[in-house]
């Protein structure tokens, strides 16, 4: 019974969306009074879409002139005070849906970069993450997790609702959508896109250095050498950075999805993404 109690304590529901206990309800409630600054930059993602990869690229693009924070929804209510002391330019990661984003980011029209990954690979990556991460409830089988994912009952809710909320409002704040698979194929092109979006001048040579430093192997090796400052992870779900670098490949879902699961997923995808303009860019 004690075990069950601690399992349920790991997740709480806010606005209909499951959050881990690392995002306190008080903080989530207080977020709306967050004071944004015009030059704040948001790094937005559904979990396991390549958030750390994107954050690492940003660190190298800006070198020392920016402050990369932990996710805005991560912590207790003192988080707001803490963020107010961080010097500009703040790069602020978040897994929040657009509807939950503090209003001031919208009023001040802060820029956002949203990284999207094939939802089947995202689901598999999150499955492993649930399995390895003591901060998340125990998952018995791939099948039971798969059903949870389709119902949007995993942390941060439905993949579909998340991306659609950001797509729907993409003209309200300047939002650049990046695609994990396109980054795997041609990282220099993606880095060039980011620098253009942010108005950063950068040479081809500098881009190629950034791409080397942010390759999967390089990032995994660095984290294995030193697990680093636990507060410095951009992932709201863990402070253990070693859990972040698993395979870093495209198409791993094929090793997990049965034919039936694939059909169910495709049906839901078609229904949900029917009117999405982004869908044509998503590797699916
Ligand atoms: P896998 O579990 O499929 O390996 P996030 O940072 O949003 O938590 O996403 C983690 C996923 O991104 C993991 O996927 C991880 O391996 C992958 N990833 C992290 N760094 C990467 C990189 N430099 N290149 C490609 N994939 C990377």
What separation in Å is there between the alpha carbon of 50 and the centre of ligand 1?
5
Question: Cβ(18) to ligand 1 under 6 A?
Answer: no
Which stretches of 100-253 are DSSP H helices? Answer: 103-107, 119-132, 142-151, 159-168, 180-185, 187-198, 204-213, 216-225
Buried b (16+ CB within 10 A) or exposed e, 227-252: eeeeeebbbbbbbbbebbbbebeeeb
Q: Which of 123, 121, 180 is nearest to 156 (CA)?
A: 123
**CB-count burial class (<10 Å; 0-12, 13-18, 19+) for 192:** middle
Domain boundaries, the chain: 2-281
Question: Cβ(252) to ligand 1 under 6 A?
Answer: yes
Q: Which two tokens stand for residue 42?
A: 């948001």
- The confidence score (pLDDT) of residue 113 equals 98
Question: Cβ(241) to ligand 1 under 6 A?
Answer: no
Q: What is the pLDDT along the chain (284 residues), one digit of tens a residue?
A: 444 446 778 999 999 999 999 999 999 999 999 999 999 999 999 999 999 999 999 999 997 789 999 999 999 999 999 999 999 999 999 999 999 999 999 999 999 999 999 999 999 999 999 999 988 999 999 999 999 999 999 999 999 999 999 999 999 999 999 999 999 999 999 999 999 999 999 999 999 999 999 999 999 988 877 655 555 567 766 767 788 999 999 999 999 999 999 999 999 999 999 999 999 999 88
Residue closest by Cα to atom 12 of ligand 1: 50
Angle made by CA atoms 265, 121, 165, in degrees to the nearest 5: 70
Does residue 226 come out as left (phi exceeding 0), alpha (psi in the -120 to 50 range) or beta? beta
Question: Cβ(128) to ligand 1 under 6 A?
Answer: yes
Q: Which of 44, 50, 116, 249 to mutate to test the pocket of ligand 1 (most atoms within 8 A of CB)?
A: 50
What separation in Å is there between the alpha carbon of 8 and the centre of ligand 1?
27
Q: What is the ipTM of this complex?
A: 0.99
194-to-95, 176, 188, 197 alpha-carbon distances in Å: 19, 8, 10, 5
**Cα-Cα end-to-end distance for the chain:** 42
- CATH no. for 2-281: 3.40.50.300
Q: Which of 15, 17, 45, 18 is nearest to 32 (CA)?
A: 15
Contacts of 64 (CB under 8 A, 6+ apart): none
Which of 95, 128, 169, 277 is flagged as catalytic?
95
Known catalytic membership, residue 281? no
Question: Cβ(181) to ligand 1 under 6 A?
Answer: no
Going by the DSSP 8-state scheme, the letter that residue 87 receives in this structure is P
DSSP strand pairing (90-94 vs 67-68): parallel
Half-sphere exposure of 278 (CA within 13 A, CB side): 24
Helix (H, G, I), strand (E, B) or coil at 20: strand
Estimate the share of the chain in helix, then strand, then coil, as percent rounded to the nearest 5.
50, 10, 35
Q: Which of 145, 167, 163, 157 is nearest to 15 (CA)?
A: 157
What separation in Å is there between the alpha carbon of 246 and the centre of ligand 1?
7
d(CA 267, CA 264): 5
CB 278 within 8 A of CB 177: yes
SS (H, E, C) 90-141: EEEEECCCHHHCCHHHHHCCCEEEEEECCHHHHHHHHHHHHHHCCCCCCCCC
């Amino acid at each position: 019974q004690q075990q069950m109690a601690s399992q349920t304590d790991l997740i709480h529901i806010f606005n209909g969306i499951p959050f881990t206990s690392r995002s306190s309800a008080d903080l989530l409630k207080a977020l709306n009074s967050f004071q944004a600054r015009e030059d704040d930059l948001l790094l937005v993602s559904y979990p396991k879409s390549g958030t750390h990869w994107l954050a690492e690229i940003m660190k190298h693009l800006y070198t020392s002139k920016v402050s990369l924070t932990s996710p805005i929804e991560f912590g207790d209510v003192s988080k707001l005070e803490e963020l107010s002391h961080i010097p500009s330019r703040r790069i602020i990661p978040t897994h929040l849906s657009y509807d939950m984003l503090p209003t001031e980011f919208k009023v001040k029209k802060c820029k956002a970069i949203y990284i999207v990954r094939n939802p089947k690979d995202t689901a598999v990556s999150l499955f492993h993450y649930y399995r390895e991460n003591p901060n998340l409830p125990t998952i018995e089988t791939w099948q039971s997790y798969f059903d949870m994912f389709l119902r949007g009952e995993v942390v941060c809710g439905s993949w579909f609702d998340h991306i659609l909320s950001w797509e729907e409002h993409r003209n309200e704040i300047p939002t650049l959508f990046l695609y994990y698979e396109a980054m795997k194929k041609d990282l220099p092109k993606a880095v060039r896109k980011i620098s253009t979006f942010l108005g950063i001048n950068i040479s081809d040579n500098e881009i190629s250095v950034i791409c080397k430093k942010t390759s999967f192997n390089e990032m995994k090796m660095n984290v294995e050498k030193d697990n680093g400052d636990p507060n410095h992870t951009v992932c709201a779900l863990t402070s253990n950075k070693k859990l972040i670098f698993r395979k870093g490949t495209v198409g791993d879902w094929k090793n997990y999805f049965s034919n039936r699961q694939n059909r169910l997923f495709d049906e839901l995808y078609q229904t949900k993404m029917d009117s999405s303009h982004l869908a044509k860019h998503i590797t699916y």
